C-alpha cells in the first residue's frame, strides 16, 4: 500500500462494489497470496454505517467473479453479520428477488456449498428464505434453502458430538482395562 493511495480496506470495498477482480487479485499479490493476511483483511473490512463486509456488498450486487475469488480464500468468514444482522446469504436472496432470479439463485447455491447457514435470522427475526418472493417463479431458490436447512438440521449438534466422543472414550477405556 502506498502512503498516498487508498488503503487495502478501501480498495477491497471498491473492488466488491465494481466486481473489480483485477484490483482484488492485485491485493492478493501484494499480500503474497497469504491466506491468513487475506482472510483477516476481508473479515475485518467493513463499511462504516452498514457494517457490510466486501462479501455482503458483492452478494447484494450480484458480483459473482468477486464472490468466487473470495470464497476460495481459506479462513474467510462466510456468515458475517452487518448492522441489521444480515449475512451475505440474506443479501444474495434479496438480489435474486430483483429480477435476477437465475443469477441470484446461482450465487445462493454457491454460498450454501461454501457453508453459509440458512438458519441465521436478521434483526427482523427473518431467515434468508423468508425474503424469497413466494408468488414468483422462485421454486428452485426455495428448494435450495430448504434443502440446506434440512441438511444442517440432520447434522449432530456440538453437544451431541461431545457426548458421542465421551461415550467412545468411555468404551475405549473400559475395553483397555479389561484386557489388562
CATH number of domain containing 131: 1.25.40
Q: How many CB atoms lie within 10 A of CB 149?
A: 16
- pLDDT tens column, 137-156: 789 999 999 999 998 888 77
154 and 131 both lie in a single domain:
yes
Per-residue pLDDT of 57-99, as tens digits, reads 999 999 999 999 999 999 999 999 999 999 999 999 999 988 7
**How many whole angstroms from its chain centre is CA 23?**
21
Q: Domain containing 129: what range? A: 83-180
Q: What is residue 103's predicted lDDT score, i.e. its pLDDT? A: 96
* Domain match, 180 and 92 both: yes
pTM here is 0.84
Whether residues 73 and 89 fall in one domain: no
Mean of pLDDT values over 112-126: 96
| H helical segments located in 45-138 | 54-61, 64-71, 88-96, 101-113
* 63 plus 121 within the same structural domain: no
Q: Which of 77, 94, 124 is the last residue of a domain?
A: 77
Co-location of 48 and 63 in the same domain: yes
Within this chain, do residues 70 and 91 fall inside the same structural domain, yes or no? Answer: no
156-162 long-range Cβ contacts below 8 angstroms, 24+ apart: none
How many independent structural domains does the chain possess? 2
Say yes or no: 133 and 47 in one domain.
no
Q: How many CB atoms lie within 10 A of CB 118?
A: 24
Residues 66 and 136 in one domain: no
Q: Give the CA count within 13 Å in the CB-facing half-sphere of 154.
A: 6
Amino acid at each position: 500500500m502506498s502512503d498516498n493511495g487508498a488503503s487495502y480496506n478501501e480498495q477491497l470495498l471498491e473492488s466488491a462494489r465494481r466486481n473489480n477482480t483485477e484490483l482484488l487479485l492485485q491485493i492478493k499479490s501484494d499480500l503474497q497470496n497469504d491466506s491468513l493476511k487475506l482472510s483477516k483483511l476481508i473479515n475485518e473490512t467493513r463499511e462504516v454505517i452498514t457494517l457490510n463486509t466486501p462479501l455482503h456488498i458483492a452478494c447484494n450486487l450480484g458480483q459473482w467473479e468477486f464472490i468466487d475469488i473470495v470464497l476460495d480464500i481459506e479462513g474467510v468468514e462466510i456468515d458475517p453479520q452487518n448492522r441489521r444482522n444480515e449475512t451475505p446469504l440474506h443479501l444474495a436472496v434479496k438480489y435474486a428477488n430483483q429480477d435476477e432470479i437465475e443469477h441470484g439463485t446461482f450465487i445462493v447455491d454457491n454460498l450454501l456449498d461454501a457453508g453459509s447457514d440458512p438458519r441465521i435470522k436478521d434483526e427482523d427475526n427473518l431467515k434468508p428464505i423468508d425474503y424469497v418472493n413466494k408468488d414468483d417463479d422462485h421454486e428452485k431458490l426455495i428448494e435450495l434453502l430448504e434443502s440446506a436447512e434440512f441438511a444442517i438440521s440432520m447434522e449432530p449438534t456440538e453437544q451431541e458430538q461431545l457426548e458421542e466422543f465421551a461415550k467412545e472414550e468411555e468404551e475405549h477405556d473400559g475395553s483397555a482395562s479389561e484386557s489388562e
